[in-house]
Amino acid sequence: MPLRTLQEFKYDVFISHSSKDKPVVRVLAERLKQEGLRVWFDEWEITPGDLIGLRVEQGLEESRTLVLAMSANAFASEWVTLERHTAMFRDPINTQRRFLPLRLDSSVIKETLRQFAYVDWREESPTEFERLLSACRKYASDQAGTTAQATLHEADVLVRHTGWMGQAAVSPHGDRAISGYFDLKFWDLRTKACLTTFDPRNSLDGRITALRMSLDGRIAFSASTDKTVRVWDLANTSCSAILTGHTMAVNSIAIFKDGVRLISASEDATLRLWQLKPESSKFQVWQCFAVLSGHNASITSVAITPNEERAISGSADGQIRLWDLAQNRCIGTLEGHYGPVTSLVLYDGGRKLISASADTTLRIWDLEAMRCASTFEGHLANLPRLTRWCSRAMSAERYQLRRTAFFSFGFWIRASF
């Protein structure tokens, strides 16, 4: 097998596991992806009609790190196949690759694996997740910066919008994107082709303030100054639902992993939690099942922790509030900004938060200790939006805030670093 440079690895992590352990492994794969790692997980990479064995071999060849989920299930009928997957990653001479055993249960570890230190996932503790994440990131952060410079350049310009383009979102797999402001476009990033343009005269009554995509990349969600959240069926190129209830513009939205729940933040100083009714017809029916209040001014940003137990909101009142989503109540307030909070980004498994503010500062918050850990100053004007560069450039040891693009005074999508 030919040697590769770091820039040639398509995936940071390949997760090898027994099919019987898939529910546990799926959650872990999603958490790693949310932290910015490029994860090869069979459900995401193998499509109907693919030769499964060939796709698996390709994934192994294109991955820098192999995470092997060790369990009684893995050591049983599927062990021969899984062990073969690990061969080139366990080879001490192959310094380009890394092997990380992950222990799911207390079954006896195979003799060939006992020499390797493992991540103990039996309790799924935050400390062990950080160990796994740090190990996976060892080479990923260096690769991220080099690869971005090698693949994003002035030629990556997509066709014009009809006016300002202020919002964009990319699918989890990085092959699709949506963008818009008054109009809405759906893009294939591999071919740089516009797949669909949603007619603003028939669909939108205000400008788009936020865009999100579901984990499977099939559904898009938009917030608007027209006080609504809209759900877009990208396959059928149609608006499948309009969520009404806010009394002022909706500024931000966050989507749950299941794609049938979301939370919206509005200038009316409330958060609303929405859920798709199971019996919905082609035009979906979403219902608001909770309204959260407590802020004294417009809510500008909302985020959901990776375990989906809490929501975080930032407001023009300068406060950041933590919400318990099981009880739908505020459980804490972070104060320190003396201007409106404009943007929030969670990282480190949801244990830390970065906030941007009109007071021209960034603040790092430790959510477990409920305190401000660091303050970054130096900007000369309001910070309207904080964007996370695939999270690879961010670790618990160092903070690298990189700009990812997509604002234009002109009419193109453009990426710059």
Q: How many CA atoms lie within 13 A of 372 on its CB side?
A: 15
Task: Report helix, strand or coil for 28.
Answer: helix
What is the per-residue pLDDT for 77? 66
Residue 369: CB partners within 8 Å, gap ≥ 6? none
- List the strands of the sheet with 299-304, edge to edge: 299-304, 310-315, 320-324, 329-334
Q: Which residue has the tokens 């071919």?
A: 191
Token output for 388? 């996370």
Residue 396: CB partners within 8 Å, gap ≥ 6? 130, 134, 348, 352
Task: Report helix, strand or coil for 253.
Answer: strand
Residue range(s) in the chain whose domain bears CATH number 3.40.50.10140: 6-151
Q: For residue 297, how many other CB atoms are within 10 A of its CB?
A: 14
Cα 183 to chain centroid, rounded: 24
Q: CA-to-CA distance for 363 and 346, rounded, in angstroms?
A: 12
Q: Which residue has the tokens 């230190």?
A: 117
Query: Mind listing the pLDDT tens digit of every residue in the chain (417 residues)?
Result: 444 444 467 889 999 999 899 999 999 999 998 888 899 999 999 988 888 888 888 888 888 899 999 999 988 866 767 777 777 777 666 667 888 999 999 999 988 888 889 999 999 998 899 899 988 886 554 444 444 443 444 445 555 555 555 688 888 777 788 888 777 888 888 888 888 887 654 556 678 889 998 887 888 999 988 899 999 888 887 888 899 999 999 999 999 988 889 999 999 999 999 998 876 555 678 999 999 999 999 999 999 998 999 999 999 999 999 999 999 999 999 999 988 998 999 988 888 999 998 888 899 999 999 999 999 886 655 555 554 433 333 333 333 333 333 333 333 333 332
What is the per-residue pLDDT for 157? 57
Q: How many CA atoms lie within 13 A of 258 on its CB side?
A: 10
What is the per-residue pLDDT for 13? 93
Strand (E) or helix (H) holding 49: none
Tell me the helices (H) and strands (E) count for the chain, helix number first.
Answer: 6, 25
What is the per-residue pLDDT for 118? 93
Domain spanning 165-376: which superfamily?
Answer: YVTN repeat-like/Quinoprotein amine dehydrogenase (2.130.10.10)
Strand (E) or helix (H) holding 205: none
DSSP result, 360-408: S-EEEEETTTTEEEEEE---SS-------STTTTB-SS-B--------B
Token output for 359? 């007071």
Fold entry, domain 6-151: Rossmann fold (3.40.50)
What is the per-residue pLDDT for 379? 60
What is the per-residue pLDDT for 390? 35
Across the strands, what pairs with 26? none
- Residue pair 415/404 in contact (Cβ under 8 Å)? The answer is yes
What is the per-residue pLDDT for 358? 84
Report CA torsion sign: 347, 350, 356, 361.
Answer: negative
**Exposed/middle/buried for residue 91 (C-beta within 10 Å: 0-12, 13-18, 19+):** exposed
Q: pTM for this structure?
A: 0.59
Residue range(s) in the chain whose domain bears CATH number 2.130.10.10: 165-376
Across the strands, what pairs with 165? 181, 408
DSSP character for 17? -
What is the per-residue pLDDT for 116? 86
Q: Which of 129, 116, 132, 22 has the alpha carbon at shortest distance from 73?
A: 22
